[in-house]
Chain A
Amino acid sequence: MTMDARSAGASRPNRTPDLLPSALRIFDLSLGQMLWSRRSVLLGVLLGGPVLLALALRVISALYTSGFRINGAMAGGASIFGLMIWLLYIRFIIPVLGVFYGTALIADEVEDKTITYLFTRPVPRSAVLLGKYLAYLVCTSLLILPSVVLVYFLIVPIGGGSIGAAFPSLLKDLGMVVIGLAAYGAVFALVGTRMKRPLVAGLVFAFGWEPGVLLFPGYLKRATVAYYLQALVTHEMPQDSAVSLLLQVFREVPGVLTSLASLAIIVGAAVWLAGKTVEQREYVLDQ
């Protein structure tokens, strides 16, 4: 055992490290951990669900029928795909991913007692949160985007739909999925840093508050992420039934630019507040 490490400290900087380079280093450290975690394996299995459903619909349409009726109207492949994007991905899978990853960004490190190693390095604590948030975004995108693309290729040809013609809308859908992941992830990262039972609070927000207030007219729905995301949905839904017409009356959709700006503000504010919370908070680990 020698003192060779002395040279390592010779060129040591001595000023407060910058946020972004520090966050990128945390991102490097966290991405692999996140991708190969048990959580990713489980949610990867969950993301196989829509693919299996799409496969089943494709087989049924090939063997028994040339199309499907939704609310009494004939729906082509593009409409079914749009419906799956909205109901399965935007309203269910993305909030689930957001809740399970977002609330755990810091909580996992605290629970595993590895947070000490990150908080005793020359990086701002908010960079730890930001780096892990970026890792979440990449990790969940890598999990969900292949699933969306597979569903697209299986569903759109149903009823004679053209894969090529609908391709631009697929790109928009993929963009919307990433924006959804960013928004829900940021909101739940904030929940995770501020609340004692973030998972419960996150689930209540995603599956209680959001669907609840969206059903009623008024301003309350603006306190949801889904309200802004629905403006980004590019697909026309079948609207022939009485229920869908009634929902259409209440459906108040903001403009695309308003939605994008609002979602950007939600992401920025939530990540900033989460970072500030991590900076201030003490994490007491059980020995």
Chain B
Amino acid sequence: MTTTASLETATTATAAPSIVAADHLSKWYGQVIGLNDVSVSVPPGITGLLGPNGAGKSTFMKLLTGQLKPSKGSVTVLGEPIWQNPALYFRIGFCPEQDAFYDRMTGLEWVTALVRLNGLDEADADRTARRALEMVDLMEAAGKKIGAYSKGMRQRVKMAQALAHDPELLILDEPLSGMDPIMRRKTIRMIKDWGRAGKSIIVSSHILHEIESMTANILLINQGRILAEGNVHQIRDLIDEHPHTVYIKAERPRVLAREFLAYDDVLSLKFEDEAVVVQTGRPDAFYARLTELAASGASGAIFEVTSPDDNLQAVFQYLVKS
């Protein structure tokens, strides 16, 4: 376990075999180091990969999903090397971060086509795709072209293609990005259900509160290194010392802002296009109230909630210095 911060990290020495094992894993792109000498063992269950943008999360995810070949060291997933091992993808589902699709296809056509690549015939693939779309509450829009989907719907259809073939291990790269608060809550619940059902999930995010709501087991990554590995609660106090920024795209941002003014934890507010950007001192309480607000609809529809990672970056700087 590599720790440069003064965190008391939890042990991962459990009897269960690891789902991911990296041994001195490094990846560089020319002169740029993406991942630097990472040795880590990820236990079964839900594990959060937490770090600011550019920390190496996506590089780590791409190495775990066999999209990149290690420059040095090795990585095994479910006990097997992943690079050039297509059979392993029967057991893995991957939801990438990038917002990329065959836009002219409907959600159902797209998921069906991808599931067919798992060897299912047309009828089975259709049935499996429908089931997956139901799981992410997207069946009503299954016949719509993906090009017409909202950001949250696009995130959900990506989730559907990842989980459709019932993988043992789900790898989710920033899965909640752009989802509205209600869908965010549902997705978190779904991920937790999967964990409880014995699935292993690795989920990346740059927002601690997202990760914390899914699992207590995290990997902290920054500048291509795993800073710490263990229980999320041990660093949440540090996070809370730093103001948290939330970007909310909404139908009526000014009405929403008026609501926020009544919250004592809101430190500042500003408007950007059709969005309101809030700094809060107590993110947990803020997110809970935001979800209630979205559910009530009293302040109009909330389309998208994202968080820039400046606040997390500050925490990482603190951790590295300490």
Chain A, interface SS category? loop
Question: Which chain B positions have C-beta within 8 A of A9?
Answer: 165-168
Cβ A25 vs Cβ B117 within 8 A: yes
B117 CB contact (under 8 Å) in A1, A13, A123: A123
Taking the complex as formed, is B101 at the interface, i.e. its CB lies under 8 A from any CB of chain A?
yes
Q: How far is the CA of A6 from the CA of B197 in the complex (A)?
A: 10
Q: How far is the CA of A29 from the CA of B237 in the complex (A)?
A: 49
Cβ contacts A108-138/B at 8 Å (1 or 0 each): 0000111011111111110000000000000
With contacts A122-B86, A123-B117, A284-B68 taken as known, whether A5 is within 8 angstroms of B58 at the C-beta atoms is no
Query: Closest CB of chain A to B314's CB: distance in Å?
Result: 22
Taking the complex as formed, is A283 at the interface, i.e. its CB lies under 8 A from any CB of chain B?
yes
Cβ B135 vs Cβ A13 within 8 A: no
Question: Which chain B positions have C-beta within 8 A of A28?
Answer: 113, 116
Cβ B69 vs Cβ A282 within 8 A: yes
CB nearest to B166 among chain A residues:
A9
Taking the complex as formed, is A22 at the interface, i.e. its CB lies under 8 A from any CB of chain B?
yes
Give chain B interface residues in 132-146, CB to chain A under 8 Å: 132, 134-137
Q: How far is the CA of A122 from the CA of B113 in the complex (A)?
A: 13
Query: Closest CB of chain B to A185's CB: distance in Å?
Result: 21
B119 CB contact (under 8 Å) in A6, A13, A285: A13
CB nearest to A24 among chain B residues:
B116
Query: Closest CB of chain B to A261's CB: distance in Å?
Result: 32
Q: How far is the CA of A8 from the CA of B131 in the complex (A)?
A: 10
Cβ A116 vs Cβ B86 within 8 A: no
Taking the complex as formed, is A186 at the interface, i.e. its CB lies under 8 A from any CB of chain B?
no
Query: Closest CB of chain A to B45's CB: distance in Å?
Result: 16
Cβ A14 vs Cβ B86 within 8 A: no
A12 CB contact (under 8 Å) in B86, B90, B132: B90
Cβ contacts A1-27/B at 8 Å (1 or 0 each): 111111111101111110001100110
Cβ B101 vs Cβ A1 within 8 A: no
What are the 6 tightest A-B residue pairs by CB atom distance, in nearest-first order? A9-B166, A113-B100, A121-B117, A122-B89, A8-B166, A120-B94
